Structures are given as C-alpha cells and as structure tokens.
Amino acid sequence: MYGSEEVHLAQKIEYEYSTDDLNFLPPGQNSYFKLPSVRTRKTILKIAIAAAFVLLCIVLAYLLLHRKHLDTTFTVINSNDTFSGLALHTPSNSNHLIKFNTFIKASYQPYSENIETILQEYWHEYVNNSHLEDCSVSGLHSKKENCIYWQQDLGSCIHLQNYGYAEGRPCILLSLELPENTLPFPYKKSNPVVKKYLTGIWSKDHVPVTCTGETEADTRYLITQDPIFNNSITYSPLKGYSLDFFPQLRSPHYRAPLLMVQFNTLQPGLTVHVRCRVWAIYKNATKAIKSVVKFRLHMN
C-alpha cells in the first residue's frame, strides 16, 4: 500500500505531464502535431500563389470580354438609378393611400408638403445651375445639357391652392425616372392602343399618362359628369413627358420630368383604387421599366 504522500506526489506528476507542451512529449506521441518541413511549406505556398494568379487571370479575362455589357448595366450616375419607371410621390408612410378631409388642413398637409419639398428641389436646381437648357421651345434642345423643368407646366396644381386638396381636387405628382441612356418612345399613331386610350393626347415628341379606376366600379366613381369641370381627370402637361428630358445625361443636376394628375370629381366617403400608366416603348433599357403605379384615394 502507498502512503497518502506518495499518492499525492504521483497525481501531481501525472497532471504536470499531461499539461506540458506537446513538443516535450516523448518521441512518437506528438508526431500528429508536428509542423511540415520548411521545404513542404514552401511548396504549398508556391501552389497557392499560382492558383491565385490563375484565378485573377480568369476574372480579368471575363471582365474584358464583357466590358461593354458591364458598363451599360452597372453604371450608377445618381440615386435615380435605384428605381426605373413611373414614380408616385407620396409620403413614405402613406402606403399608397391618399386620405384627407377638405375641411381639416392637417389631414392633407403631409401630401401637399411632400409635393412642395420636391418642387423646391427643382427650383433650387434651376437657380443654382446656369448650365440647364430651356427646352420649352420644341426642337431647340442641343442634347448637351439637361433641361430646365418649368413649374408652370403643372397647371393649376400650385402651392397657393394647396395643390387642390382644400377644394376636393387633389393633385398627385408623378415622375418618369429612367436610367442613363434609356430612351422612351411613344406608340406609333397607327397602333390600336392610341385610338382606344390616347385620343387627343398622343404626340410624336411626348409619352402620355392616363389614369383609370382599377375596376369598373372604381372608374364610375372616378370619372363622373360635372357641370363645372369638363374633365374628371386633368393631366399637366396634357401630352405627358417631353422626350427632350431623355436620355439622362451624366450630371448630378439631372431631374426627371414631372407630371401632375388632378382628380376633379371625387365623391366623398368612397375609397377609389386608381391605376396610372405611362404609354411608352423603351430603347436601350437594361432592366425592367415600371410603367404602372397604383394608389387609393379617399376624400371626406
């Protein structure tokens, strides 16, 4: 039998042996943990460098072969490139529902202030940038500079009238945001679509916008006869977006063209589902262009 002191000493030696550095274990017990030889490590390093070089050559070859495509697809000029197509400008928290009471200013103020903020950006761009061109006279745009957007083209949708909300004739702001080099074209006049939907507003140098109800019932509520207003819906500019604003040029001062849609004969207490569409064919488009926006109108 061993004494308690001998047992304690044996346990201490065993513990120190098990926790010692593996390099000091007896020969044959730490062979798994040995580092490769210097020669082996150099060989592995050479193989890794060669593999990385081959991979780099493959990537460069791909980029050179697809250079034209990449330049067209991924060139980003400004924030407008994050979205392509017909854009609805409403407060971010509106969830595409425009609900207001003509007698309560606070109910429609978020919508009118949102429009005001956007128009102020356009006005500041005009004041601070002398290089913008006046494209209001057809055929005089040199295509070397971006166009000035005149706010008087937005008809009766102005700040002094609260953009129509106080009168129960709300103005909805739409813009056409297209990537650089993308060109919109109107439908040919011989296209049956023109006769069916675009009578009176088709133009060879504009792409028009029309708005209707989502359903037949919505359309009946939206478009009604009125002794004061000849048109239930007014578009400003009437013919839509001028082609002079396209293509977008390489400039941080570019602003997409605007269009106001004013609903003149809304009936109170009803929610109307609205669908607006820009009638255009696109050239040089490298991604899908959104041509339709949907929203709801509710007036009390």
DSSP calls for 53-90:
HHHHHHHHHHHHHTHHHHHHHH---SGGGG--EEEEE-
Average pLDDT, the chain: 78
CATH topology of domain 82-299: Immunoglobulin-like (2.60.40)
pLDDT higher than 80, residue 123: no
Confidence tier at 144 by pLDDT (50, 70, 90) = low
Confidence tier at 152 by pLDDT (50, 70, 90) = confident
Q: Which of the residue ranges 45-59, 171-185, 204-218, 267-281 would you say has the lowest mean pLDDT? A: 45-59
Better pLDDT: 278 or 141: 278
pLDDT of residue 154: 85
Share of the chain above pLDDT 70, in %: 71
Between strands 292-299 and 97-100, the pairing is: parallel
Model pLDDT for residues 187-214, shown as the tens digit of each residue: 999 999 999 999 999 999 999 999 999 9
pLDDT higher than 60, residue 19: no
Q: Per-domain residue ranges for the chain?
A: 82-299
Model pLDDT for residues 101-115, shown as the tens digit of each residue: 999 999 999 999 999
Distance CA 140, CA 241 (A): 17
pLDDT of residue 128: 62
Containing 197, the helix (H) or strand (E) segment is helix 192-197
CB-based contacts of 123: which residues, under 8 Å, 6+ apart?
A: 151
Model pLDDT for residues 33-81, shown as the tens digit of each residue: 456 677 777 788 888 888 888 888 787 766 555 433 333 222 222 333 4
Distance CA 118, CA 175 (A): 11
